[in-house]
Chain A
């Protein structure tokens, strides 16, 4: 199946700084790229998503960029706050994979006050 590589596995930033998480993939048929935030003891929560016909999408302090040529997409969080601390997962769906959602391995983000 499709593989998604996610980096870094852990990330610590000072409150107010920006955080960037990057994912790379290999299947050019991938066409949907959601990002999920998972807090301890909770299920993954969809925070933003982007489709392959768009290069960038922004929602308040969160943005996602997609580079189809290079096959990577990134999550950008600006003005980080302690409540942003969680595990973040990238994911994708490939049109040729029966619409299966494949997840990255996750990034533990810690925002230091």
Chain B
């Protein structure tokens, strides 16, 4: 089966610009996660979706970050405006349900100039 697909793989923007990431989860996976991974660290959860509902967004910086999962399949994560400290790899993961193993995409590497 196809894995979690993310695009773009790389993104370089100047600070204060907007940026968006896209994720297509594994078919049939109802739960979708966005993580941020800083260099040399493990991933940290930003938001979790159960179908189209965001059920855990407590660690999402809501002043500049937003996410959506319309129709409960694909998801987008947006940053507006981007700051230098947002440089990281943004990972999407999915699972059949929230108590099942999570499978990750290869991420989007964001660099802020």
Contacts and interface: CB of A to CB of B under 8 A. Distances in A.
Interface residues of A, number: 21
A53 B56 CA distance: 27
B72 to A, nearest CB: 18
Contact of A106 (B6, B42, B91, B103): B42
Interface residues of B, number: 23
Interface of B: 4, 6, 33, 40-45, 48, 55-56, 91, 93, 98-99, 101-107
Given A98-B56, A99-B99, A43 B105 contact: yes
B102 A46 contact: yes
Given A34-B101, A46-B101, A104 B106 contact: no
Given A46-B101, A98-B56, A99-B99, A41 B42 contact: no
